Amino acid sequence: MKYLLSFLSFLLYSTLWAQSARPIAIVELFTSQGCSSCPSADRLLREAVNAQNENGEVYGLSFHVSYWNRLGWTDPYSSTQYTERQKWYAEKMGLGRIYTPQMIVDGNDEFVGSQKNLLLKSLKSSFESNTKTEISIIDLSKKGQKLNLSYVCQSISRDELLNIAVVQAVASNHVPRGENKDKKLVHSNVVRAFYTFPAKAEGSVSFELPELLKHAKYEVIAYTQNKITLEISSVGRSQF
């Protein structure tokens, strides 16, 4: 009887979430500490994530790419994996090139990441459509350098992937060389680990974490994405 009541409560919660939750937009920023035009985009993402917007909420993901590292400063948050993700978008969208800063909203709208008017326009469209469902993260535990996660998705369609990002809420450091020499840069929602799995209605995944700062705040952002259309259809997040 106890398990039946728990299951019914979960169904009721899921239904209420689908009907009443605030709209959510996924904003992916491809950036680098070696790029002089990126700090303005970093600030714009921080503003969007922290904004008290009654129309919806922004889940930001700051991907630091690696191809600027050759120009005098190695971005400590950069990864070739994030460069490959940006290349994946460029190929799917037929862009023919990659660049920074670049923002991609909900997997479809892409533009120069410092253009506030385009971000606001894209967020408005995302919030008004409000089509995303919830990913419920029902168990999240860290053991050593491994993170274990169990989830339930309200709906899964064909050709969907489950993206899981471990993000550091705030990161800042002094840059001694390169195009941003002698600047202190501040970033929000820096992606420190990123994994993609085949999406299922429910499941459990485990993955290795990099060395994380003990005093920093971290959370997991999970989202499903169609590998053909790039549409993001469900989202969830949890702190750890």
Is 5 inside a domain boundary?
Answer: no
Is 4 inside a domain boundary?
Answer: no
Is 56 inside a domain boundary?
Answer: yes
Residue 237 in this model has a pLDDT that exceeds 70: yes
Report how far residue 29's alpha carbon sits from residue 44's, in angstroms, rounded to the nearest whole number: 10
Is 187 inside a domain boundary?
Answer: yes
Q: What CATH number is associated with residue 185?
A: 3.40.30.10
* Average pLDDT, integer, range 194-205: 94
Is 8 inside a domain boundary?
Answer: no
User: What's the total number of domains in the chain?
Assistant: 1
Which strand (E) or helix (H) includes residue 118? helix 116-129
Is 204 inside a domain boundary?
Answer: yes
Q: At what angle do helices 38-50 and 116-129 cross, to 10 degrees?
A: 30
pLDDT range class, residue 61, cuts 50, 70, 90:
very high
Residue 12 in this model has a pLDDT that exceeds 50: no
- Report the 10 Å Cβ neighbour count for 25: 27
Q: pTM for the whole thing?
A: 0.90
- The pLDDT value recorded for residue 94 is 96
Is 3 inside a domain boundary?
Answer: no
Is 105 inside a domain boundary?
Answer: yes
Q: State which residues form the domain around 165.
A: 13-239
